[in-house]
Structure 1
Amino acid sequence: MKKKWMAIACMICTVGLLGCQEKSANPKTPERQHLEEPVSYEPTQPTNPVVEVVDPTTNTIIDTISPQAFGYDTDRQAYQKLLEQIARDLARGTTTIAGYDQHMVLDKLDDQGKIIKGRSHIILKERELVESILAVSATGGQVEMPILITKSSYSLEDIPYLEDVVVATYTTYFNHADVGRNKNIELSAKAIDNVIVGSGDYFSFNHIVGPRDEANGYQPAPEIINKKIVMGIGGGICQTSSTLFNAVDQIPVKFVERHHHSLDIGYVPQGRDATVSYDSLDFRFQNTSGAPFLIKAIYEEDSLTIEIRTAEKYLGIMKDETF
C-alpha cells in the first residue's frame, strides 16, 4: 500500500514538473515584418510653365508668357528675340498701347506760387527684363519689371525763395506788328515760365512746350526750313528757345542737344541760336550747378526776356566762374 502511494506521488510530481516547464517556456515571438525605406518624391516640374510679368508699382500682372508655346525648348534664340520684342513694346509702346518709358516734364509754379506737378522720368530696363524672364522660363514664376523712376531734384523748403535773386538774364527783340509770330513767342514763353529746374534735372524745350499746332493756339508765321523761309504753324518759337539758351549759358549747365538754323536769324548773334522742331530738333540741357533754379519768361510788346533766378543762399554756386 505504501509503495502504491509513493508511485502515485511520483506521477503527480512528474506531471507538475511538466506543467511548469510548459508555462515557463518562452512563447514563440512572431517575426517582424520587413519595413521598406521611406520613398522621397522629387517635385515634378509643371508640364506647361508660365511666366507672369508684374508691374511693381501696382503689383498687377500685365503680361503672361508661355515659354513652351513661344519655342523655349525648340529654338532658344528665336525665343529670346521674341522676349526682346515683348520688352521693347512694354517699354516704348505700340500703335495702340502706351509704353512705360516717359520723358520727364519738370514741375512749375502757378501765379500763386503753388507747385504744378509735371511727371517723373521713367525707364523700363529692357535687357534686364529679358534676362529675368529667361532665368525662370524652365520652371515658370513671376518676374517684376525693372523700372527706374527719376523725380525732379529740389527741396520743397527752397520753393518760396527761388525768386530771390536773378543770376542770369537775356533779352531779344521782335517786330510787334507781326501778330501771328508774336503770338507763338508769347505761348511758348508762357509754357517755360516758372519752370523749376532742380539740381541734376534735364530740361527739354519740346517736352515742356509740347506740340505747336492750331489746337494749342499756335498760328501761321514765317519759319526757316532747309535755308528757305516758308509759312508754318508755330513759326517764331525758336526766338524763345534761342533767348533761353543765351540766358542759361551764363550759369553752370551742360548742353545735351542744340541745333543751329540754316540761315542767319538776326535776333541773336550768329551761332548763338537754338532751333527747335517738335518730335525732331530739341533744345536740352542738364542743370549741373548743384542748386535748383527758376526760369522766368517775361513777354512784352516787342521783346522777350528770360531770367534765371534762385535762392540767395545759392548765389555763390550759380555765379561760379570756373564752370
Structure 2
Amino acid sequence: MANRTWAISILLASSLIGLTGCTEKTAKETSQEGKVTSPQKKPNQKSREEPQKVEEQKPIVVNVIDPNTKTILKTFLPLDLGFETNPEAYKKEMEKWAKDIARGTETVIGYDQRMVLDKVDANGQIIKGKPQIILDEKELVERVMMASIIGGDVELPLSMTESGYKPEDVAHLNEVVLASFTTYFNSSVAGRSKNIELSAQAIDNIIVGTQDIFSFNTTVGPSDAVHGYQPAKEIVNKQLVDGIGGGICQTSSTLFNAVDQVGVSYVEKHHHSLSVGYVPAGRDATVSFGGPDFRFQNTTGVPFIIKTIYGKGKLTVEVRTSAAYQSLIVKGN
C-alpha cells in the first residue's frame, strides 16, 4: 500500500513538471510573435525628408597676365560677353582688344616696340639700344578662346629680338666701305644746315645687325625745338612752308641712296609730294616724326655700321663692315 501511494506521488510530480515546461515555451513564442519590429534603414539611403544640396556653379573667368610683371592686365567673363551664344562676335571682340593692346591706342602705349639699334660712341664703347618686342595677336586670341571654355590664366605671347651682331664685331665694322652717297645743300641757310647736321649725328655710328630693322624716326627722334632743331622750309601737301626741322629729309634720302647699294629690304618708304633738288627724281625718302618713316631691314647677311660725314654744304653717308664680312654680302632685295 505504501509502495502504491509513492508511485502515484511520483506520477503527479512528473505531470506538473511537464506542464510548467510547456507553459514557458508558449509564453516565449507568444512574446516573439507579438513583438513589432521597425524596418531597417540602409546605410547609404537618404531620408526622403532631407533636402538635396545643389552645388553653386562658379562663373568662368579668364585673366590675361603680363609674363614679366605677373600682373593681371584684363579680366574677361566669357559667358557675359556672349562666348556661348555668339562665339564669332566674341572672337572679333577679342581680336580688336588684342590689336589695341599690341599696337596701342591714342591714350595707351602698346606692347609692340620697334628696335632701338645700338650705337658706338666716340670712345668706341657700345651705347645699348632696346630689343624689338612683338605681341603675337593671333596666338593671344587663340589662347583666350581656349581659356574661355573652362576659365584660367593666359599669359601674353611676347617675343623679344636682340640686335644681330656680335660684340667682337664692333672693332672691325669700320674696315671696309661697302657703299657711299653724297648730297649737297646751301650752307648759308643756317636753319636747314643745322637740322641736317643734327639728324646726321643721330644716325652716325649706328650698328645694323643682320635682320635688324632700322627706323629713321625711331633713331633720330622728334625733330623739334626742344631737341635743337630750327625753323626751315619743308614740303607739306605740295607746298613749301616754314617748319621746325626742315631739312632732315635730305639726311634720310642720302641714307636711302647709300643703303640701296647693298641690297637691303624696305619696310617703309615714302616720296615727297614735290620733287627735291638734292637727289634724282624718285630717289628721295620723306620722313616726319609721328608720320611717314623710312625703314629698312638688313638682309645682306652681315652686320654693318652707318657713318655720316657732315661738311660745309655737303653730307655723305657710308655703309661699312669688317673685311672678314665683305665677301659674304648678299646683294639684291
The TM-score with structure 1 as length reference comes to 0.80
Is 1:99 equivalent to 2:110 in the alignment?
Answer: yes
RMSD: 2.3
Post-superposition offset of 1:46 = 4.8
Contact 2:264 2:332 in 1 (8 A): no
The 1-side partners of 2:266 and 2:109 are apart by: 29
| Equivalent residue number for residue 289 of structure 1 | 300
The 2-side partners of 1:90 and 1:114 are apart by: 36
The 2-side partners of 1:111 and 1:265 are apart by: 33
The 1-side partners of 2:139 and 2:179 are apart by: 42
The 2-side partners of 1:321 and 1:199 are apart by: 13
What amino acid is aligned across from residue 212 of structure 1 in structure 2?
S
What amino acid is aligned across from residue 248 of structure 1 in structure 2?
V
Q: Which runs of 5+ in 1 are unaligned?
A: 1-32, 38-43
Structure 2 residue corresponding to 1:184, chosen from 172, 177, 195: 195
The 1-side partners of 2:103 and 2:56 are apart by: 34
Contact 1:153 1:200 in 2 (8 A): yes
Contact 1:242 1:272 in 2 (8 A): yes
Q: Deviations over 1:187-231 (max 9, x none)?
A: 110111111101111111112112222222111101122332211
Is 1:127 equivalent to 2:127 in the alignment?
Answer: no
Post-superposition offset of 1:295 = 0.3
Identity of aligned residues (%): 56
Post-superposition offset of 1:313 = 0.2
The 1-side partners of 2:306 and 2:224 are apart by: 24
Contact 2:194 2:229 in 1 (8 A): yes
Contact 2:195 2:230 in 1 (8 A): yes
The 1-side partners of 2:64 and 2:248 are apart by: 43
The 2-side partners of 1:307 and 1:314 are apart by: 16
Contact 2:262 2:332 in 1 (8 A): no
Structure 1 residue corresponding to 2:63, chosen from 45, 52, 55: 52
Post-superposition offset of 1:130 = 1.7
Q: How many residues align?
A: 284
Post-superposition offset of 1:306 = 0.7
Q: Which runs of 5+ in 2 are unaligned?
A: 1-40, 46-54
Post-superposition offset of 1:147 = 1.4
Alignment of 1:1-323 (within 5 A): 46-318=57-329
Contact 1:45 1:139 in 2 (8 A): no
Q: Which has the larger radius of gyration?
A: 2
Q: Deviations over 1:77-128 (max 9, x none)?
A: 4433332333233212334432211112211111112222222222212222
2:327 alignment partner, SS class: helix
2:288 alignment partner, SS class: coil
Change (3 A) 1:45 1:132: farther
The 1-side partners of 2:251 and 2:215 are apart by: 13
1:256 alignment partner, SS class: strand
1:138 alignment partner, SS class: helix
What amino acid is aligned across from residue 103 of structure 1 in structure 2?
R
| Equivalent residue number for residue 13 of structure 1 | none
Post-superposition offset of 1:154 = 0.9
Change (3 A) 1:96 1:245: closer
Post-superposition offset of 1:76 = 3.1
The TM-score with structure 2 as length reference comes to 0.78
2:317 alignment partner, SS class: strand
Q: Deviations over 1:129-153 (max 9, x none)?
A: 1221121213211111111222211
